[in-house]
Structures are given as structure tokens and as C-alpha cells.
Structure 1
Amino acid sequence: MKKSFIVLLICIMGFSMFACSTDKVAPGDEGEGEQVNEVEDSKEPVRVASLKGPTSMGLVKLINDEEEKENSSYEFNIVTMADEIVTGISTGEIDIAALPANLASVLYNKTGGQIKVAAVNTLGVLYIVENGETVTDFEDLKEKTIITTGKGQAPELVLNYLLTQNGLVPNKDVTIEFKSESTEVATILSSEENVVAVLPEPFITSAKMNNDRIRTVFDMTEEWSKLQDEDGSSLVTGVLVVRDEFLKDNKEQFDEFLTQYEKSIAFTNNNIDEAAALIDKYGIIKEGVAKTAIPKCNISYVDGSKLVQSLGGYLDILHEANPQSIGGKLPDEEFYYAKE
């Protein structure tokens, strides 16, 4: 049953402590006829997973700081596939995870509310780019082909939303051609003139290093924001979630983790050179690419009421376009966690 459940989550996704103690008795000083009981608390580390890419960039200072401690409370794992996080959360092998925003909603719905989202860690990383000079506004996209990834998932749904809101009918006024990987899109963009594509950072930065004709036409995060009112949603890429069972027994520790996580994200944004070196150190992307890409990755920390506003509205729009992209229904208010 569990295996089938995990497979179902991976299909929907299309992209994604237990505290224990042991008592150790030290041998007594037999010469004095006394035995001293020495109790040593032993806890398993908090297991934190994140996806390789922008959603891990804000973690690197925290990871590095914990590595330098003699006895860290955390075990970090940066993974390349979202299904590794799906499996880990579902089986209880991961306590805290940074993952795509829509996948958090899928997991919440499919696990019956066994996770909570605590913060947005990455706003939009998607951009419309062109190898050429033919597009300056949305009207110029009419009768063009846009190549992208994520059919039926966030990249397509966000693109369709922006096209529709700007007077274009997807797959009528604009042809959308899907590829399986962002690397494939980037290769086509770099090698063919007048190609228009939707790509995330840091793929755009890498592509521009190989071809100086590639330019950014639209920042999709900015275009999304233009369509919202003052209390509207944000374009959200990644969030931080926690297993509810872990949270119940470790609330104080998790709140402290959030405090350190927010500081780590601020470090990444405010110390680009040092952060880029750490991003390279942990195998996320190369230092040279990271230096240019960090400001464009919208690495953020959003929690509390702003989290509900930003993420809730975003999920609402995805739900209207494709309910299955967020697990079939909008999460209820228990989905959101706020530290005290």
C-alpha cells in the first residue's frame, strides 16, 4: 500500500526526529564499593533534505555552520530528485525538507495532513528568454513557439496564466512545445536563433555564458506580481516543510531551526561571494555561475500571515488550472505553521 502511495505521489508531481535516549551505566569504583549511574542523553540527528538548485542555496551557511560544530544536531542531504524527498517524508526518514511549493500541497493532501509548511524559501525562478531580438512585449509572442518543461505542472500553468492574463490563448495564439529537461531547453536556446523559451535560474545564467545573444525578456515573478492586488499572491517556487509527528515532539528545536534558517538565507543574499563559494562546496552549482545567479533566484524567507497570503493565493491559481497539480484540493488552514 505504501509503495503504491509513493508511486502515486511521484506521478502527480511530474517534476518533487524521533528523539530517543539511552541510559548508559558507568562501572563504579569497585575499590570504594560504590557504583555511579551516569545517564547520557543520545538523540538521533534531525534529518533535513533539500533539492539541488535554488531551494538549497539558502541553506548553505546553516549547513556549513553545523558541520563546524563538534556535535551537530542535524544531518543534511542535498538530493537531485524530488521523489527522494517524497519517499523520505512518507516513510518518516526525513524530518524537514525544502521542496517545490505545489509538491508540499500534494504531500499534505495525500498524507492526510501529516506535514506542515513553515516558510517560503524561494520565490519565482522562471523567466521567458530569447536567443534574438524579436520579442519585447507579450503581443510579440503571438504565433511564436515557446519551449519549456513541466507539462501539466507549475512551469506550464504559470506560463498559461501569464499568457491568458495578457490576452493570448495558449496553444492557439502561442504554441507551447515541451521538453523533458531544462538542460535540453537550454541547449536548444543556445544553439538556435530566435528561439523563445521558459527557463529557471541558474540555467539561464549558464546559457548566457555560452551565448551572449541570449537575453531575458520577462521576469515571470514580476509579471505575476503585476497581476495581483495589494494582498495578492506571489509566484512561489520552493517552501520548507516539517513532518507533523516530528514537530509535535520537537517544536522548540524546530522554531530555533527556523531562526537559523532565516539568518542563513539572509547570508546568501547579502554575502554573494562567500555564499557562492559554499554553494560550489556543496555541489549545487559552480561558484562562477552562483555569483551571477543568486540575485536572480529570489531566495527568500517568508513566514506567518505573509506565507499564507503568498502561497495560498499561488496554490489557488494552480488549482483553478489543474487541481491535480496540488493534490486535488486546496490545503486547509492546518497546512500552515507559524512559530511563536
Structure 2
Amino acid sequence: MIDRRRRQLLQFAAATASLAVLPGIGLATGPGLRAATPLGLPQVILVRALQDERLDALVGGSELRDWRDPDQLRAWIAGSEVQLTATPTNVAANLYNRGVPVVLMNVNVWGTLGVLAREAPLSGLADLAGRQVGVPWRGDMPDLVLRYLLAREGLEVGRDLRITYQASPFETVQLFLAQRLDAAVLPEPMRTATRRQAGSLGIEPLELDLQQEWARLTGDAPALPQAGVICRRELLEAHPEWIAAVQAAVGEAVAWVNANPGAAARLGAEHAPLPAPVFEGAIARTRLEMRTAQEARPALEAFFSALAELSSGFIGGGLPDDAFYLDKA
């Protein structure tokens, strides 16, 4: 029997193959911009960007959908249901390497990952020795970042510590709060939400920022190019002025979120099932910086190359070529 993941891959392959015959039918026709975003800080940024009156007048209005997992996004973008989306950078590269005609416009989220632990010490990754650590999404970004850094620290999974995998951050959080895990790796805003919920249960978790651990163990900046915005190439070719306007609006949105965390948190709470204080805490713990695709390319290629050592499937093969990166704003 074909398992669920293999079935999803076959469905995605079939959708991708269809694009080779009928690329982007109906995608760039008609008014309005069809966009999508995951929950979290990328959603706050894109919601704010699409509120720009100049952009709205130019594109004739916009629709913004929420996607819950990368499989849903792949179906939407491969099937031309959306033209533009916020997405983790590895998902963008994976789509491109599998033949979906997408273009990376920018990277604007540079680090959301952290470790929560129920007991001290937690001054560095070495302190995870002997513990059971929960990680969502086996083989995805949280898992590969953790395993890459553990190897740099000289720790071996299975010998020095145990990792158990969950299908989503929500499951990881449940197990951590039930004290069935010693530690948990989580992205924002789940990190902040979990810390707040743990406090209400009398648990005071310690926290370790994985961006700082990356800097300590690699010598690079404490910044991981985690998420940005991509568009379908057909949209870029049909409406380059739309893409330029979106790019400008995203840059202004990132600056606004950094300058107005309270207002940004309230905006996030209007569009997601998390309260404003969770978003405000997440903003404080996340590096938000707008870089165009070309500006972000060196950091992206170093990041992709490091994690692809553990799993080439992380980006769907080799490094994306020049056509993946938006040439100009």
C-alpha cells in the first residue's frame, strides 16, 4: 500500500507535470491578486503589505488565503490557485527544483527557532545531552537546523540524546506541556505561546535561541534566512509593476512591524487564533529584515548547502540557479 507521504509526492508530481503542458492557465488574467501565507509573522507582514492603498489600487484588490502545511501550499501554487505566497525558503527552493515556475522575491524572516527545556541548565546545546527532545516536522527546517548544530557541538543523536518527532508544532507543544518531553524545538510564535501556557501550569521553561547557537558554532551572523515571498513567473512576466509594488509594500510592512510591535501584534491576532501578547513576544524574539532575493542569495546558498548535507531533499536537489532569484525590484 502506498503510504500517505508517497501518495502526496505522487499527487504533487502529477500536478507539476500538468504545468509543463498548460503553464499558468488563467493565472495572470483578470483583476486582483491572489495571495497566500502561513500563520505567524509572515502572515502579519503580508497582511500589512496588502493593506497598502497604492498596491490595492494598482492590482484591483487582493485575496489572501491561509495555508496550514507545505503540502496544501504546493497544491495551490502548482495548480495556479494562488499567484504569490509567503513561504519558508526551503519550500520555495523545493518547488522551483521540482519544475514549478516560481521566483523568490525577498527574504524577510531571519530566525524564529528556539529550544524550550523544563529543567536547567540550558546555556548551550551541550546541555541537551541525556535528554529527550521533541521536534516537529522530521526532515524539515527545525529538525535539520537542530541536527546540524548538534553535530557541530559534537553530540550524536541516539548516543548523547534522543529526538522524537511530531507531525506538527501543536503536537510537540502538547507533549512538552504534559512533561513527556524534556525539551522542545519550536518556531515563533509557538515558542512564545508555549512559554506563556507553561507559566500558567506552573512550569517555567528555560529558552535557548538557535540563531545565537548558529552564530556561536559556525561563526556566521545570528540570522537564518527562513522565510520570504515568492510569485509565479507568469505573474512577474504579465505584471512586473505589480511585483515591484508588492516588493516595496513588503519592505514597508517589515519596517512597520519592527517599529510598531504592539499594533502589529493586534493585526496578527485579527487574522490568527493567537492573542496579541503572543505575537508581540514573537516579534521581540524574531529578526525581521527585508532583503531582496539577490541581496539574500549568499546567505541562502550557505544555509541551503549546510542543511542539504543532511538531506538533499530539503531543497529538492541542488542549489537553485539564477532564474530562481528575482533580478530586480
TM-score range, shorter chain: 0.7 to 0.9
SS at match of 1:170: coil
SS at match of 2:208: strand
Question: Gaps (5+ residues) in structure 2?
Answer: 1-7, 17-25
Task: Tell me how large the CA RMSD over aligned residues is.
Answer: 2.8
Task: Give the Å deviation of 1:98.
Answer: 0.7
Distance in 2, Cα, partners of 1:104 & 1:299: 18
For residue 33 of structure 1, what is the aligned residue in structure 2?
A: none
State which of 203, 213, 217 in structure 1 corresponds to 2:190. Answer: 203
For residue 242 of structure 1, what is the aligned residue in structure 2?
A: 231
State which of 208, 216, 219 in structure 1 corresponds to 2:209. Answer: 219
* 8 Å Cα contact 1:234/1:311 also seen in 2: no
Distance in 2, Cα, partners of 1:8 & 1:272: 42
For residue 314 of structure 1, what is the aligned residue in structure 2?
A: 303
Distance in 2, Cα, partners of 1:254 & 1:203: 31
The percentage of aligned residue pairs carrying the same residue is 24
Q: TM-score, normalised by structure 2?
A: 0.84
* 8 Å Cα contact 1:143/1:173 also seen in 2: yes
State which of 269, 294, 304 in structure 1 corresponds to 2:258. Answer: 269
Task: Give the Å deviation of 1:148.
Answer: 1.1
Question: Gaps (5+ residues) in structure 1?
Answer: 11-16, 21-42
Query: How many residues align structurally?
Result: 309
Deviation track 1:69-98 (CA, whole Å, cap 9, x = no partner) reads 688432222222322321121122211111
SS at match of 2:164: strand
State which of 69, 75, 79 in structure 1 corresponds to 2:67. Answer: 79
Distance in 2, Cα, partners of 1:332 & 1:117: 11
* 8 Å Cα contact 1:128/1:219 also seen in 2: yes
For residue 81 of structure 2, what is the aligned residue in structure 1?
A: 93
* 8 Å Cα contact 1:233/1:311 also seen in 2: no
Structure 1 residues 139 and 168: CA distance shift in structure 2, 3 A? same
Distance in 1, Cα, partners of 2:145 & 2:236: 32
1:88 maps to amino acid? W
For residue 280 of structure 1, what is the aligned residue in structure 2?
A: 269
Structure 1 residues 296 and 251: CA distance shift in structure 2, 3 A? same
State which of 55, 62, 66 in structure 1 corresponds to 2:49. Answer: 62
Distance in 1, Cα, partners of 2:54 & 2:323: 33
Distance in 2, Cα, partners of 1:194 & 1:280: 29
**Aligned 1:123-272 pairs, distance under 5 A:** 123-192=110-179, 195-212=182-199, 213-229=203-219, 234-272=223-261
For residue 121 of structure 1, what is the aligned residue in structure 2?
A: 108
* 8 Å Cα contact 2:107/2:293 also seen in 1: no
Task: Give the Å deviation of 1:264.
Answer: 0.9
SS at match of 1:240: strand
Structure 1 residues 221 and 9: CA distance shift in structure 2, 3 A? farther
Task: Give the Å deviation of 1:284.
Answer: 5.5
Q: Which has the larger radius of gyration?
A: 1
Distance in 2, Cα, partners of 1:190 & 1:233: 28
Task: Give the Å deviation of 1:146.
Answer: 1.1
